[in-house]
Chain A
Amino acid sequence: MRRKLAVVPERCSGCRICEITCAVHRQGVNNPKKACIRVTTVYPHPVVRMPVVCSQCGDPKCAAACPTNAIFKKDGIVQINKDDCVACHACVDACPFGAMYVHSEIDVPLKCDLCEGDPQCAKMCPTEAIVFLPEHVFGQAHRLNNVLSYAHMKEIEYMEKGKRKRLRYADHGPSEDLER
């Protein structure tokens, strides 16, 4: 079962713990600018705080753009072969999410490799804005959300044979929805 990092921007507070954790854990330096993840913020219209990190794409555009074929995918992780990399940063430009980073002191672009299967950013995120999920779970939250917004769940409590029980049931939406 493969797992991927997923980001929930609505939960992100912009605290940058993911950045500093990544830098300290992976690069061994106290420098959030050397992290493989960065929180991008936009305000006040619209308000978005969103950690941007590699999606380990199935068909990585970064690899396709690399002139020396230094980027390859192994075990579901897109990786850079440091020996082949010429630091042209074509990959950084090619990534549709901007999820590769450049720092003046490091030649090879900074890119997430999922910390050997235990991503520290997801572990340290205080609001669960970054989660590490099995691939097949992706999209489930949206599906569930959709279903729940269609049928407003209600809950009642009742007694049965002297025991308190709860029942959840789906109520149809507000009356204006029914009229349609």
Chain B
Amino acid sequence: MIKKGGYFGRLLHVDMTDGGSRVEEYDESLAEQFIGGRGFAVKLIWDNLQKKGRFDPLGGDNLLVVAPGPLTGVYMPSSGKNSFAAISPATGIYGDSSMGGSFGVELRQAGYDGLAVHGRAEKLSYLFIDDDRVKVIECPELAGKGNLETEGRIRDQIGDHELRVASIGPAGENLVRFACITSEWSRNSGRCGIGTVMGSKNLKAIVVRGNRDLPVCDLKRVEDISNQAYKELAGHDMMSFWQRQGLMSVIDYANELGILPTYNFHDVHFEKAEQINGYTMEAGYKIGNTACFACPMCCGNINLVKEGKYAGTVTEGPEYETAAMLGSNLGISDFGAILRGNHLCDDLGLDTISTGNLIGAIIEGYEKDLLTIDDLDGKPIVWGDDERVLELVTQIAHCESVGATIALGAKGVLEKWPQLKPLVQHVKGLEQSAYDCRGASSMALAYGTSDIGAHHTRAWTVGKELEMGADWNIEQKVDLVIYHQHIRSLFDMFGVCRLPWIELGFHEDFYAELYSAVVGSDYGLDELLKKSEHIYNMTRAIGVKLGSNKSQDYPPERAFDVPIHSGPLAGKVCDRQEYEQMLNLYYTKRGWDPQGTPVITGELNF
């Protein structure tokens, strides 16, 4: 074991091409420099690029990294996170997506700090990691099966109900560019087409069983710090509300603030929001809670549709993003339909954000006569048409009819229908998630400069700017974006959830203290943030090497061109000049050149 705790010092490499595996015992400097989780993933992907040069993200050269962090599974609130990373087939640059639940904990308990999947299997297979035994098993019988059935059948086959399975549905197998990886019914790594990479490797599922003790240097200290933390969380004013509604409470918040994507990001206020909000869910649908490992917040909601055309649908979810992207963004106000959509996406293995985003663009395209009825296989689609939307969801996953085009993601859709350019909301090929940025330019900068594309978890500054930043200058906005991009990366590197911090005001120092107790030497937050900054520079450098540049560091055009026309932020739109200033200042503060190239880019020489 390297360090006194926190690490096994072992990375598992599996080559799908020949089914072989080996354990790499790394030395302490890797942990010291990269911490773990997303940090390890970036390092492994960097080294793979160095070795292989530029490659097709859907080919066997792409490396899929599964990386829990040194705090994943540790006795502390919300330690169930795990990152999946690869070169994204959606954007062509670095991409990652994290997943909650227990999968990462199990992988660590098998004795690995990370898993790197190389190559491509000839036939559809799953990978079974049973502590030290690692096997690639062919599974033609699982072809085309949904995530739920896949998980159940693998458990039956192996004869263990308590295994952890991370699988892809038909969407991943069919290389839909926004396929997700799903575990435990509804824990998803949704973004960047990370499930597509699994599909391209003919890897249907990763199955893990682990029994080891996690290395913790000073368990007594961890216990003391965490007991206190659990107590604090339990006593928090918002805790019971959070347990009741989870992220669904954000629907009302976003609607009132004027950032709820509505009608394909055209509006920011949905007139029927009260039909898809947390209270509607509580009153008519919710039947239970779910939580990730060791998390008292249980933000997951289990919902059942009791009546209407979707009666009998039971699903875990939706959370805010799904309710907004499959709800208000498509003009859908039937909560039952959203639940049905959520269930379908989970089972078929689709990212709900990208799915809702692209279908929104299609509906608007048809509404504005940019798409003809023939483009849509003779079937019209309008706002709020839930049956047609759900049909499209299924078609996307199976690459049928118009679904085959949508399945190519933002970039593919625009290649086929360039006339949709003003309507498809994306950055670098990743579809924008459910926060409008026109009222808060820091959020526009967050989307524009995110290293993976338009995703809100890199820097979620919109709330803070709208609540308290009315007279902020551009420097304050840039600083906040950069700070978020570092602290949030750090959570992914540790393998823990950011929600206790961002939602319940849990202090950052807690994480530094806990990490220190786990690894057995003291680290300050600033020191850790430095390491996080290095990771951010690396992902940017990878992006630049693979074709990203300043011209792509802008939010979707709509942010500049279409003023918000209703709600408290009516008339607001991002100012191009201000954005340009912010972007330049952002580069300067990061020490990048005026084209947004970090110094270390040259080190990646292929």
Interface residues of A (CB under 8 A from B): 10-17, 20-21, 24-25, 28-34, 38, 40-41, 43-45, 47, 49, 103-105, 124, 126-127
Contacts between chains A and B (CB distance < 8 A), count: 95
What residues of B have a CB within 8 angstroms of the CB of A43 in the complex? 148, 185, 316
- Among A17, A25, A44, the most chain B Cβ lie within 10 Å of the Cβ of A44
Contacts of A44 in B (CB 8 A): 148, 185, 314-316
Which residues does B use to contact A, with CB under 8 Å? 73-75, 102, 105, 109, 148, 161-162, 184-185, 210-216, 219, 222-223, 230, 233-234, 243, 287-298, 300, 302, 314-316
Query: Do B234 and A126 touch (CB < 8 A)?
Result: yes
- In the complex, given contacts A40-B162, A126-B230, what are 17 additional A-B residue pairs having Cβ atoms less than 8 angstroms apart? A12-B289, A13-B300, A15-B292, A16-B294, A20-B73, A20-B293, A24-B75, A29-B213, A30-B213, A30-B214, A33-B109, A34-B213, A47-B288, A49-B288, A124-B230, A127-B243, A127-B289
**Nearest opposing residue in chain B for A16, CB measure:** B293
CB-CB < 8 A to A17: which residues of B?
230, 294-296
A17 to B77, CA, bound (A): 9
Check B185–A31 contact: CB distance below 8 A.
no
**A9 (CB) vs chain B CBs: closest residue:** B288
Is A105 in contact with B211, judged by CB distance below 8 angstroms? yes
CA separation between A29 and B217, bound complex, in Å? 11
With a cutoff of 8 Å between Cβ atoms, the chain A residues found around residue B74 in the complex are: 30
A14-B290, A44-B315, A47-B287 known; A31-B298 Cβ under 8 A: no
Distance, CA A45 to CA B105, complexed state (A): 25
Q: Which of B219, B230, B234, B315 contacts A28 (CB 8 A)?
A: B219
The docked-state distance in angstroms from the alpha carbon of A177 to that of B300 is: 36
B230 with A13: CB separation less than 8 A: no
User: Nearest CB to that of A120 among chain B residues?
Assistant: B227
Chain B residues with CB under 8 A of A47: 287-288, 302, 314
Contact of B219 among A15, A24, A34, A126 (CB under 8 A): A24
The CA of A103 and the CA of B162, in the complex, are separated in Å by 13
In the complex formed, the residue of B with least CB distance to A47 is B302
Residues of B near A41 (CB, < 8 A) are 184
Complex contact B219–A29 (CB within 8 A)? yes
A33 CA to B208 CA, complexed, in Å? 14
Residues of chain B with a CB closer than 8 A to A31's CB: 109, 211-214
CB neighbours (8 Å) of A16 from chain B are 102, 293-294
Q: When the two chains form the complex, which single residue of B162, B219, B297 contacts A30, counting CB atoms closer than 8 Å?
A: B219
User: Hey, which chain A residues are within 8 Å of B294, CB to CB?
Assistant: 15-17, 20
* Among candidates A21, A105, A126, residue contacting B298 with C-beta atoms closer than 8 Å: A126
Q: CA separation between A126 and B504, bound complex, in Å?
A: 15
Partner of A13, one of B211, B216, B298: B298
Point out the residue from B210, B298, B314 that lies within 8 Å of A15, measured CB to CB: B298
Q: What separation, in Å, do the CA atoms of A31 and B233 have in the docked complex?
A: 23
Cβ-defined partner of A14 (8 Å) among B230, B291, B297 = B291
7 contacts between A and B (CB under 8 A): A13-B243, A15-B293, A16-B293, A17-B296, A29-B213, A44-B316, A126-B291
Given the complex, which residues of A lie within 8 Å of B213, measured CB to CB? 29-31, 34
Is the beta-carbon distance between A30 and B316 smaller than 8 angstroms? no
Task: Give the residues in chain A near B75, CB-CB below 8 Å.
Answer: 20-21, 24, 30
Measured CA separation A178–B219 after assembly (Å): 61
How far, in Å, is B104 (CB) from chain A's closest CB? Answer: 13
Q: Are B288's CB and A30's CB within 8 A?
A: no
A43, B151: Cα distance in complex, Å: 11
8 A-B pairs closest in CB distance? A126-B296, A15-B291, A13-B298, A13-B291, A13-B289, A31-B213, A30-B214, A29-B213
A residues within 8 A CB of B185? Answer: 43-44
Q: Tell me the smallest distance from the CB of B495 to a CB of chain A, in Å.
A: 13
Q: Which residues of A contact B292 (CB under 8 A)?
A: 15
In the complex, chain B residues whose CB is within 8 Å of the CB of A103 = 211
Bound Cα distance A21, B222 (Å): 12
Most buried by B among A10, A17, A34, A103: A17
Q: How many whole Å from B586's CB to the nearest CB in chain A?
A: 38
**Complex Cα distance A38/B291, Å?**
15
Q: How far is the CA of A124 from the CA of B226 in the complex (A)?
A: 11
Cα distance A43–B213 when bound, in Å?
Answer: 28
Smallest Cβ-Cβ distance to B79: which chain A residue: A20
Residues A49 and B290 in contact, CB atoms below 8 Å apart? yes
Residue of A nearest to B234 (CB): A126
Determine the distance from Cα of A163 to Cα of B488 in the docked complex, in whole angstroms.
54
Chain A residues in 8 Å Cβ range of B161: 40
- With known contacts A30-B219, A126-B243, A15–B211 Cβ distance under 8 A: no
Closest-by-CB residue of A relative to B131 is A104
Q: Within the complex, which residue of B211, B233, B288, B298 is in contact with A33, where a contact is CB–CB below 8 Å?
A: B211
Report the nearest A residue to B312, measured CB to CB.
A45
Expressed in whole angstroms, the minimum distance between the Cβ of B229 and any Cβ of chain A is 11
Question: Contact: B290 with A13, CB < 8 Å?
Answer: yes
Query: How many Å lie between the Cα of A45 and that of B222 in the bound state?
Result: 38
Q: Contact: B295 with A15, CB < 8 Å? A: yes
How far apart sit A16 and B298, CA to CA, in the bound complex (Å)?
Answer: 11
B302 neighbours in A (Cβ, 8 Å): 47
Bound together, the chains give a CA A43 to CA B300 distance in angstroms of 14
- Measured CB to CB, the closest approach of chain A to B304, in angstroms, equals 8
Residues of A within 8 A of B214 (CB): 30-31
Residues from chain A with Cβ under 8 Å of B297 in the complex: 126
A177 shortest CB reach to chain B, Å: 20
In the assembled complex, which residues on chain A have CB atoms less than 8 Å from the CB atom of B109?
31-33
- Residues in A whose Cβ lies below 8 Å from that of B295: 15, 17
